[in-house]
Amino acid sequence: MIAAAVLALVTLQRLAELAYAQRNTRRLLARGAREAGAGHYPAIVLLHTGWLAALWILAPGQPVSWLPLLLFLLLQPVRLWVLLALGERWTTRIIVLPGEPLVRRGPYRFVKHPNYLVVVAELILLPLAFGLWEIALVFTLAKLALLWIRIRAEEQALAGARDHEP
């Protein structure tokens, strides 16, 4: 019962974030932004969809481990802080608006890629909340491999955008 409730909330949260990201992407592209790293984006979608599907299949009926669940819930305000700091520039893709300075407010004052830290922690904690360490391990390792590709693409795109600053 708890697993289904938590997973329903996480699923709704992710769907709302996708809608927000798509809206932001359309607006940024209309303002002259460019997408980078589009080739690896389907793998990211597949990874996150697979993670959530695996949890929906395996977590219901599992006993709850309260500490990982509490830590996962405590990450949610940090996730919101990231979204608020980026505002209309938050997307699930790498969308760069040439000439715009890097965001250096919110958690970006302290960490270069706070969103990725939150996501990796979530990939670990939510499965552990239901004793599913195998899901935590497999999806976290896959995410780290994709982040290696994504961060390089993002850094390259941001460097190119800074080269075009007025």
Q: What is the pLDDT of residues 80-136, one digit of tens each?
A: 999 999 999 999 999 999 888 889 999 999 999 999 999 999 999 999 999 999 999
- Are 68 and 2 a contacting pair, CB within 8 Å? no
Number of structural domains (the chain) is: 1
35 phi and psi angles, rounded to 5 deg: -95, 140
Q: Whole-angstrom Cα distance, residue 136 to residue 51?
A: 9
> Ramachandran region of residue 37, left (φ > 0), alpha (ψ -120 to 50) or beta?
left
Range of the domain at 43: 2-163
Can you give the pTM of this predicted structure? 0.92
pLDDT-based confidence at residue 160 (cuts at 50, 70, 90): confident
Domain of 112, CATH number, reads 1.20.120.1630
- Number of helices and strands in the chain (H, E): 5, 2
Structure tokens at 10: 């996480």
